[in-house]
């Protein structure tokens, strides 16, 4: 019963993401207002807000008893509600505002804190990534799997840098240098949700980032897990979304990437080629 119910919610999430994504695509190149929300570089446009209004309308119409954590509107409904949607109407706002077409809509559902349904829609590639716990993961209705790359030396990775990067020493710069040295490359996509979708479909082999919000990752966590990947804390302990730290990779690479993150030397010791 619960399992079949997840598929109904998956379709509702898809309806919402496709509708919001169509708006994002329509407004491409026509952004009128760009402002900083709080921290330097944390942008919001009228397109973020209009896309979020669509997501809220669709979810609210179908699921008035569920709670929603929306990036631009905050918490809607009781925090004690076990059914919590986490929605990002435009993940990759900086890219979008600059006219760089790497952005998506992310719609995830956590039940009692556990991510169970995830939909990510990339309106620029017209790719719809979907997953529900126990039902596998698809891209445009075709099953998708994580990659099988097992060594960092053969891997292509992705990461990101949170908006507080200028205010904290825990800014991911040392990890970025370390993994760039060990891998075939570390991309900085600018959309955490798409980064996770790209790990889920095997284009990228691993992803880590700190400073993330539930709306950045809830949907992507379901995609990666249902595509056969592992998603945890950096040290491979169980994922705590509230910690803001995520490590996602295929099962072969995951422990290797985890160990490399834990072994990251401080930037003051860089470069350290002999130690590699
Ligand atoms: C951001 C993107 C970016 C990540 C940031 C997020 P936004 O979300 O996902 O890749 O590095 O931490 O805040 O602001 O574009 O919705
Ligand atoms: Ca985001
Ligand atoms: Ca956003």
Per-residue model confidence (pLDDT) at position 229? 98
Atom of ligand 1 nearest to the CA of 189: 10
Q: Is the CB of 48 under 6 A from ligand 1?
A: no
Which CATH code is given to the segment(s) 152-266?
3.40.190.80
Atom of ligand 1 nearest to the CA of 162: 12
pLDDT tens track for 59-94: 999 999 999 999 989 999 999 999 999 999 999 999
Q: Is 125 left (phi over 0), alpha (psi -120 to 50) or beta?
A: alpha
Atom of ligand 1 nearest to the CA of 42: 14
Q: Is the peptide bond before 271 cis (omega within 30 degrees of 0)?
A: yes
Atom of ligand 1 nearest to the CA of 195: 10
Per-residue model confidence (pLDDT) at position 269? 84
Rounded CA-CA distance 56/60 in Å is: 6
Query: Minimum-distance ligand to the CA of 162?
Result: 1
Per-residue model confidence (pLDDT) at position 1? 43
Q: Ligand 3 centre from 183 Cα, in Å?
A: 29
Q: What superfamily in CATH does domain 2-143 come from?
A: Fructose-1,6-Bisphosphatase, subunit A, domain 1 (3.30.540.10)
Q: Residue 275 forms beta bridges with which residues?
A: none
Q: What is the DSSP letter of 232?
A: E
Pairing of strands 137-139, 127-132: antiparallel
Residues of the chain with pLDDT under 70: 1, 271-276
Q: Which residues contact 71 (CB under 8 A, 6 or more apart)?
A: 48, 52, 87, 88, 89, 213, 215
Q: Residue 152 — φ and ψ, nearest 5°?
A: -65, -35
Q: Locate 90 and state its tokens.
A: 């435009």
What is the pTM (predicted TM-score) of this model?
0.95
Domain boundaries, the chain: 2-143, 152-266
> Is-contact 264 174, C-beta < 8 A?
yes
Task: Quickly list DSSP for 212-223.
Answer: --HHHHHHHHHH
Q: Is the CB of 91 under 6 A from ligand 1?
A: yes
Mutate to test the pocket of ligand 1, among 92, 95, 195, 215 (most ligand atoms within 8 A of CB): 92
Per-residue model confidence (pLDDT) at position 140? 98
Residue percentage of the chain with pLDDT more than 90:
84
Q: Ligand 2 centre from 105 Cα, in Å?
A: 9
Q: Locate 192 and state its tokens.
A: 């955490």
Query: Minimum-distance ligand to the CA of 216?
Result: 2
Q: Ligand 3 centre from 92 Cα, in Å?
A: 6
Task: Quickly list DSSP for 42-94.
Answer: -EEEHHHHHHHHHHHHHHHHH-TTSEEEETTTEEES-TT-SEEEEEEEEETHH
Q: Ligand 3 centre from 194 Cα, in Å?
A: 12
């Amino acid at each position: 019963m619960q399992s079949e119910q997840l598929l109904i919610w998956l379709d509702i999430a898809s309806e919402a993401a496709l509708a919001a994504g169509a708006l994002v695509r329509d407004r491409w190149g026509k952004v009128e207002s760009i402002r900083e929300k709080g921290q330097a570089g944390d942008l919001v446009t009228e397109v973020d807000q209009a896309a979020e209004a669509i997501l809220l309308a669709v979810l609210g119409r179908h699921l008035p008893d569920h709670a929603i954590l929306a990036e631009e509107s905050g918490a809607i409904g009781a925090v004690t509600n076990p059914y919590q949607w986490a929605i990002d109407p435009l993940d990759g706002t900086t890219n979008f505002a600059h006219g760089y077409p790497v952005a998506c809509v992310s719609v995830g559902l956590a039940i009692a804190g556990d991510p169970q349904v995830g939909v990510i829609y990339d309106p620029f590639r017209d790719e719809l990534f979907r997953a529900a716990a126990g039902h596998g993961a698809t891209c445009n209705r075709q099953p998708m799997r994580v990659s099988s790359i097992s060594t960092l030396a053969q891997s292509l990775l992705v990461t990101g840098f949170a908006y507080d990067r200028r205010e904290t020493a825990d800014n991911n710069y040392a990890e970025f240098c370390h993994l760039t040295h060990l891998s075939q490359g570390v991309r900085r996509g600018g959309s955490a949700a798409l980064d996770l979708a790209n790990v889920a479909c095997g284009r990228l082999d691993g992803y880590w980032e700190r400073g993330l919000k539930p709306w950045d990752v809830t949907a992507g966590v379901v995609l990666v897990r249902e595509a056969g990947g592992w998603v945890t804390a950096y040290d491979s302990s169980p994922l705590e979304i509230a910690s803001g730290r995520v490590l996602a990779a295929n099962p072969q690479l995951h422990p290797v990437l985890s160990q490399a993150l834990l072994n990251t030397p401080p930037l003051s010791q860089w470069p350290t080629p002999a130690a590699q």
